[in-house]
Amino acid sequence: MNPLIFTTILMTVLLGTMIVMMSSHWLMIWIGFEMNLLAIIPILMKKYNPRTMEASTKYFLTQATASMLLMMAIIINLMHSGQWTITKVFNPTASIIMTSALAMKLGLTPFHFWVPEVTQGISLTSGLILLTWQKLAPMSILYQISPSINLNILLTMAVLSILVGGWGGLNQTQLRKIMAYSSIAHMGWMTAVLAYNPTLTMLNMLIYIMMTLTMFMLFIHSSSTTTLSLSHTWNKTPLTTTLILITLLSMGGLPPLSGFMPKWMIIQELTKNNSIILPTLMAIMALLNLYFYMRLTYSTSLTMFPSTNNMKMKWQFETKRITFLPPLIVMSSLLLPLTPMLSILD
């Protein structure tokens, strides 16, 4: 793609999300979402093969439907409250429709079906933008309307997302699909605590973005999109192998690493609000996530994955220079002792 056009389109994606996060008028928010959607389609289609085109079409259809539902909820809100500013949503019907629309945009169950297929069809860098930056805008709207969301629907979607994200990822060997299911599960954790303490949603989003960014950068660095090709990194860059181990365990939420911080805070906040069964169920279902992360680490860092002898040596291409990889890795594994700094997010 022409570099000038590519820069313009990428800046429009950023501008769309900024407009969504900064606006106080519902119509501008809708315009921001549409601008974001329109501009990310050519980024998803950077390579011209039928798979990327199919993935972009699926993404466009689901997100356009979600935008239409959002517009309908905005108009119902206007009908019942007579004003366009974003405070809480004044009508239960509008609130339910808006929650469903934003869940479709995020990829929460039962609207999660597009996430693995779209993530699989596009290149690693586009998948990175899809799974991290695109989650910011809907989550910011959910944060702003959080006092008026119907709790039953929100918690059902959250728990089902954690279940589907864990269960669906179990049979996958393609790395992009694994990251997609991990995204579904993390979105479930984020929305579970939204009604109780939205600050923790933001914390979880921050740490999730850092960890997903790190994982994708490591995959891009070793140019691997399947478990088999990831398991050959011990030969090329053994340091990357160790870092993959640490970051994957952090994503699974294991204690001395920073991935534990949001899960710990969320479980604590839920139990403070007298729900015991829900966080227990969520923690148990997070074990499914941990299982397939550990399977990845087992095949990558801990053992030599079986392959034919001439596949053991990877061809030494020029090493890609990945910006910010060391700080990202440090942040996604060592942030746990900084938990008391949580109060700055308020």
Partner 1 sequence: MMTYIVFILSVIFVVSFVGFSSKPSPIYGGLVLIVSGGVGCGIIMNFGGSFLGLMVFLIYLGGMLVVFGYTTAMATEQYPEVWVSNTTVMGVFLLGLLMEVMLVLYVLKSEEVGVAFKFSGVGDWAIYDTGDSGVFSEEIMGVAALYSYGAWVVIVTGWSLLVGVLVVLEVTRGD
Nearest to 33, CA basis, from 82, 105, 90, 100? 105
Q: How far is C-alpha 232 from the geometric centre of its chain's CA atoms?
A: 26
Number of residues that bind partner 1 (CB under 8 A): 20
**Cβ burial 101-131 (10 Å sphere, 16+ → b, else e):** bbbbbbbbbebbebbbebbbbbbbebbbbbb
In a 10 Å sphere around its CB, with 0-12 CB exposed, 13-18 middle and 19+ buried, how is residue 294 labelled?
middle
Name which position in 17, 26, 30, 39 contacts partner 1 (CB under 8 A).
Answer: 39
Does residue 8 bind partner 1 (CB under 8 A)? Answer: yes
Does residue 34 bind partner 1 (CB under 8 A)? Answer: yes
**Cβ burial 81-97 (10 Å sphere, 16+ → b, else e):** eeeeebeebbbeebbbb
Among residues 5 and 170, whose Cβ is nearest to partner 1? 5
Q: Which of residues 259-298 bind partner 1 (CB under 8 A)?
A: none
Does residue 9 bind partner 1 (CB under 8 A)? Answer: yes
Among residues 37 and 149, whose Cβ is nearest to partner 1? 37
> Which pair of tokens denotes residue 288?
């499914």
Does residue 141 bind partner 1 (CB under 8 A)? Answer: no
Does residue 98 bind partner 1 (CB under 8 A)? Answer: no
Does residue 18 bind partner 1 (CB under 8 A)? Answer: no
Name which position in 17, 26, 29, 45 contacts partner 1 (CB under 8 A).
Answer: 45
Does residue 123 bind partner 1 (CB under 8 A)? Answer: no
One-letter amino acid at 84 equals W
Among residues 9 and 160, whose Cβ is nearest to partner 1? 9
Among residues 36 and 227, whose Cβ is nearest to partner 1? 36
The minimum distance between CB 340 and partner 1, in angstroms, equals 40
Does residue 154 bind partner 1 (CB under 8 A)? Answer: no
| Apex 331 CA angle, 326 and 334, nearest 5 | 110
SS3 85: strand
Does residue 28 bind partner 1 (CB under 8 A)? Answer: yes
d(CA 151, CA 191) in angstroms, rounded, equals 10
Does residue 93 bind partner 1 (CB under 8 A)? Answer: yes
Does residue 129 bind partner 1 (CB under 8 A)? Answer: no
Does residue 29 bind partner 1 (CB under 8 A)? Answer: no
> Which pair of tokens denotes residue 15?
């501008």
Q: Which of residues 294-333 bind partner 1 (CB under 8 A)?
A: none
In a 10 Å sphere around its CB, with 0-12 CB exposed, 13-18 middle and 19+ buried, how is residue 7 labelled?
exposed
Q: What is the contact surface with partner 1 in residues (CB under 8 A)?
A: 1, 5, 8-9, 12, 15, 19, 28, 31, 34-35, 38-39, 41-42, 45, 48, 76, 79, 93
